[in-house]
Amino acid sequence: MTPRFPSRRARGGTLFAVMLLMLLAISAMLAAARHSFHQSGRRAEMHSAVTLSEARAALLGYALIYPELHPGQAPGYLPCPDQANTGSAPGVACHARDLGAFGRFPYRTLGLAVPASGPGQCLWYAVSGSFKHNPKALALNWDSPGQFEIVDTAGRRLGGDEHSAVAVLIAPGAALPGQTRPPAAATTGAQRCSGSDSALADLPAFLDRDYGTGFAGGITIVHGLPGSNANDIVAWLTTDDIFDALRLRPDFLARIDTVLDTAAGMLTSWLGTPELIAAHADNITADRAHGRFPDAPAAGIAEEAANLYQNWRDQLRFVACTGENPCLTATLVDPATAHTATESCRALVIFGGERRRGDAPQRRRTETEREDPAQYLEGENLASYTIGMGSYSGLRHYTIIDHQQPASEDILRCVH
């Protein structure tokens, strides 16, 4: 059966209407979906849950409208934590590229009032190096890994799949034995949270574990219970949470098209130069070569297109004829009209689409996984790419056919 595709107008929607509905839904969901807690601490716990819900929604909104706040930038980035107890993200980098960062929640940056937990303490916040806005990771897309595993007090995983959570909000519980929480220092002006002007110095006094303020690799964060020796409660965002929202932006399709256009232009310039194609090929058969595209600096891509291309480069593969005549057959579907056409191509750009989830998930965390075409391609495309012969099929443009499922269909760009 030929799938019925939504029109581009219907897909686009209105950014702020989608954002508002989404954030309201998230807030309601998080406020309702909490553990059963001891009756004595329920009121404080519910207050913390609502505060976490509001802060989480604000973080998601920040990622969603990041280009409107920072013209020329891609969506998806999250602020650095507040390291100086001012309520704001620092104006400088939070640790080196790819390192995660821990500190207080930057409520002023997000336009919120002081977000206090049930016991009256300000929220704490951690962000993965893959999503923090300064310094930015070299690539940000729907496969960017997180650094946090969320578990309950019994060690059972609560949040994220194998790609993990990318941001965590923590509401401190009541002070545990050995924790001394000083009031806000009088010398810090607008400071409103308890503690000093150093997140590094204060962190052990407010949280169950001393996580440090900068870290590489993954860390485990416990979602606790009131009255226990692990009483901090948490909310989190995963890669999928953020990109399930971002893909509803009206300009998301155009961004993916720009990536495909950039790759197609590069591939066109290679045609007629067999040694150039061979230099980037992983495999060459009798009449075709296939492989991955180079990074932006090696490709010499203009600066205005380089960041977008670099963010999505790992989704791209190419197949190119080694001779001067078309050797590839591609069946292409226009998602706006559902019109299908078969074309003869001298080369193909293949964009893998979102990874499959569920019972047979695709995994793209490690470099080994990202090199594996089976983690990006499906069906006849995977078979043809792997054996170096056969035809291809896919969509002309990225589209969401089922909003309840990842858009994992391959996208093709034919170079004639």
- What tokens were used for 168? 């965590």
- What tokens were used for 109? 């940056």
Distance CA 257, CA 341 (A): 19
Residues 6 or more apart whose Cβ sits within 8 Å of residue 122? 104, 105, 107, 114, 115, 116, 192, 193, 194
Cis preceding-peptide flag for 135 (omega within 30 of 0): yes
The separation between CA 294 and the C-alpha centre of its own chain, rounded to angstroms, equals 22
Q: What is the pTM of this model?
A: 0.86
What does the pLDDT read at residue 371? 93
88-120 pLDDT, tens digit per residue, is: 999 999 999 999 999 999 999 999 988 777 677
Q: Which residue bears the tokens 């058969």?
A: 285
Residues 6 or more apart whose Cβ sits within 8 Å of residue 50? 31
Distance CA 11, CA 255 (A): 14
How far apart, in Å, are the Cα atoms of 62 and each of 115, 122, 131, 146, 276? 16, 19, 12, 18, 42
Going by C-alpha positions, the residue among 141, 129, 159 that lies closest to residue 52 is 159
Bridge-based pairing of strands 328-333 and 392-395 is parallel
What does the pLDDT read at residue 14? 47
What does the pLDDT read at residue 22? 54
What is the residue-level pLDDT of the chain in tens, covering all 416 positions?
334 444 444 444 444 444 544 554 455 444 444 443 444 456 667 888 889 999 999 999 999 999 999 998 999 999 999 999 999 999 999 999 999 999 999 999 999 988 777 677 899 999 999 999 999 999 999 999 999 999 999 999 886 565 589 999 999 998 899 898 888 766 545 567 889 889 999 999 999 887 878 889 899 999 998 788 899 999 999 999 999 999 989 999 999 999 999 999 999 999 988 888 999 999 999 899 999 999 999 988 888 789 999 999 999 999 999 988 999 999 999 998 999 999 999 999 999 999 998 888 899 988 999 999 999 999 999 999 999 999 999 999 999 888 888 899 999 999 99
Distance CA 198, CA 90 (A): 12
Distance CA 316, CA 267 (A): 12
Q: Which residue bears the tokens 């930057």?
A: 106
Buried b (16+ CB within 10 A) or exposed e, 176-188: eeeeeeeebeeee
Distance CA 75, CA 243 (A): 9
Q: How many CB atoms lie within 10 A of CB 65?
A: 15
Beta-bridge partners for 394: 332
Is the distance from CB of 363 to CB of 369 less than 8 angstroms? yes
Vertex 359 angle, CA 356 and 365, to 5°: 50
- What tokens were used for 313? 């480069």
Is the distance from CB of 214 to CB of 100 less than 8 angstroms? yes
Classify 330 as helix, strand or coil: strand
